[in-house]
Amino acid sequence: MEGIIELSVVQVALAYIFVCFVLIIVKIRNINREKEIIISSIRMTIQLILTGHILLFVFNNPSPYITIAIIILMEIFAIYTVLKKFRSKTSVELKKVIGFSMSIGTITCILYFLLIVVRIPNWYDPRYFIPIAGMLIGNSMTGITLGINSLLEGMTTEKAIIEEALTLGATPKVASKKVINKAFDSAIIPTINSMIGMGIIFLPGMMTGQILAGADPTIAIAYQIAIMLGILGSVSLTVIIMLILSYRTFFNEQSQLMGR
């Protein structure tokens, strides 16, 4: 089997023609996105180049301390990204719940996936730990963002219904059950949709990368199935922990719905 075809700087540069193509479209259509497209393209390039050099060092010098430090940074950045999006809409208590849910949910699934499913000899092996952690944390971050957005919206639009249920004697948990269920559904739908189209409509990134690197397609498929199930589990666990703990932050000690 032939090895992977390496891309030269010139070949990578040629791929930027797609950026030019998009810039032409938004310019012709008078869509004011040129700055964002250029900045995002440059930022992505710089970030990935730096990441590549860092990973090269980490892979050549495996250490549990380095792996733990990287995972902590990934978790902090993911939590910060979520909190930044809802900065003015979340209480201090809800922010704590988000941080706790992201940390516990993702780390639990990462360790289970690596130690029980993949069964790597060294749990801190960066070649396995970092890429898999990145996929689980990244998808969980997206899921929890969608979940929070739906939760905040639901607690506002369904305020009258929730207050009526409370008046009739329902507990906060029962009164907000519909909102919580809808938020959970909103959070996992993107992952489910990806699973439905995978293999027929598109080939996922992890599987494509392994095949391009020369791996047997059946091995790549096995890894992809496992990682997608891991992502589904991580997103679900992270979001459900967040929802179970967060709904209480919308009520006071007298079980009254508070304004935001």
Has residue 1 got a pLDDT over 50? no
Query: Comparing 10-19, 157-166, 202-211, which segment has the lowest mean pLDDT?
Result: 202-211
Give the pLDDT score at 172: 86
- Residue 248: pLDDT band by 50, 70, 90 thresholds? confident
Give the pLDDT score at 212: 66
**Entry pTM:** 0.84
Query: Comparing 40-44, 82-86, 170-174, 217-221, which segment has the lowest mean pLDDT?
Result: 217-221
The DSSP-derived string for the chain is ---PPPPPHHHHHHTTHHHHHHHHHHHHTT-S-HHHHHHHHHHHHHHHHHHHHHHHHHHHS--HHHHHHHHHHHHHHHHHHHHHHTTTT--HHHHHHHHHHHHHHHHHHHHHIIIIII--SSTT-HHHHHHHHHHHHHHHHHHHHHHHHHHHHHHHHTHHHHHHHHHTT--HHHHTHHHHHHHHHHHHHHHHHHHHHBTTTB--HHHHHHHHTT--HHHHHHHHHHHHHHHHHHHHHHHHHHHHHHGGGGB-TTSPBPP-
Query: Comparing 23-27, 68-72, 203-207, which segment has the lowest mean pLDDT?
Result: 203-207
User: In the chain, what are the domain boundaries?
Assistant: 1-61, 64-250
Average pLDDT over residues 173-199: 90
Give the pLDDT score at 3: 60
71-116 pLDDT tens trace: 999 999 999 999 998 887 788 889 999 999 999 999 999 999 999 9
- Residue 15: pLDDT band by 50, 70, 90 thresholds? very high
Mean pLDDT of the chain: 88
Has residue 2 got a pLDDT over 50? yes
